[in-house]
Amino acid sequence: MSLNKQVKIILVETTNSGNIGSALRAMKTMNFSRLCLVKPKEFPSDAVETMAANAKDLIKNIEVVDSLDEALKNINFVVGTSSRMRKVPWPNETLQNASPNIIIEAKKKSKVAILFGREDRGLTNEELQRCNLHLHIPANIDYPVLNLSMAVQVVCYQLYVDEIINREPNKSEFWDVPTAESNHVKRLINHFIEVSEQLEVFNKGNPRQIGARIKRMFTRIGLDEMEVNFMRGFLAAVEKKLKDK
């Protein structure tokens, strides 16, 4: 198993093209090469080539897409980088604690994506709700600020080191059915919320943010493809019963 084959780094709406080049250099140093850009402000750019330095060979392999859905196609496990606590708390681990879990997912042959947000405001709540896990990089409490490419470097370094140290197989690596793709889980969540509204279990204006909590529940438990298919079939049967009334 190679982390490089299983892990994709995703930069969302990057403003400074130089950060793209610097991120490539950071990735190559730690033996990562798969980079995806979601709606970058400027790409291609001379600044990318300049800052990439000896990692210019990776530029030709960069994937550029218009939406996070496109970036997460075929992805099974999504990790969001975030330093802020949210109104509805999500599983949020330090990088040191999150890294072994990411490696375990990769060893299960799951496709893993690690999301990095905009330079000025990071990832939105909606983007973070697509993630199975949030991670943060411990830093000076008075100035916990990292440049985008620095954050990429630190995360890739931790994964690189942990992969080398932890090469023994783990029983939790093995599963009989592949982990569900992120976009499949998103469709299940939307379906579940739609049926819940039809049943009048809750409504969109619920003050307890039940919708966000449902998203958290389904992303946290790590469904496999068979479980997702069963739940979709169950919800479809409920809808049919509702229509037949």
Q: What is the pLDDT of residues 50-65, one digit of tens each?
A: 999 999 999 999 999 9
Question: What tens digit of pLDDT does each residue of 155-188 get?
Answer: 999 999 998 876 554 545 556 677 888 888 888 8
Asked: is 182-244 a CATH 3.90.1150.10 domain? The reply is no
pLDDT band, very low/low/confident/very high, at 213 (cuts 50, 70, 90): confident
Q: What integer best gives the mean pLDDT of the chain? A: 86
Give CA 197 to chain center in angstroms.
27
The helix-helix angle for 148-165 and 17-29 (nearest 10°) equals 10
How many distinct helices (H) and strands (E) make up the chain? 10, 7
d(CA 229, CA 243): 21
SS3 state of residue 159 = helix
For the domain made up of 3-173, give the CATH fold.
Alpha/beta knot (3.40.1280)
Same fold, 3-173 and 182-244: no
Give CA 52 to chain center in angstroms.
24
pLDDT at 228 over 50: yes
User: Exposed, middle or buried, 176 (CB in 10 Å: 0-12/13-18/19+)?
Assistant: exposed
SS3 state of residue 180 = coil
**What is the domain partition of the chain in residue ranges?**
3-173, 182-244
197 compared with 103, residue with greater pLDDT: 103
The token duo for 17 is 């093209």
SS3 state of residue 175 = coil
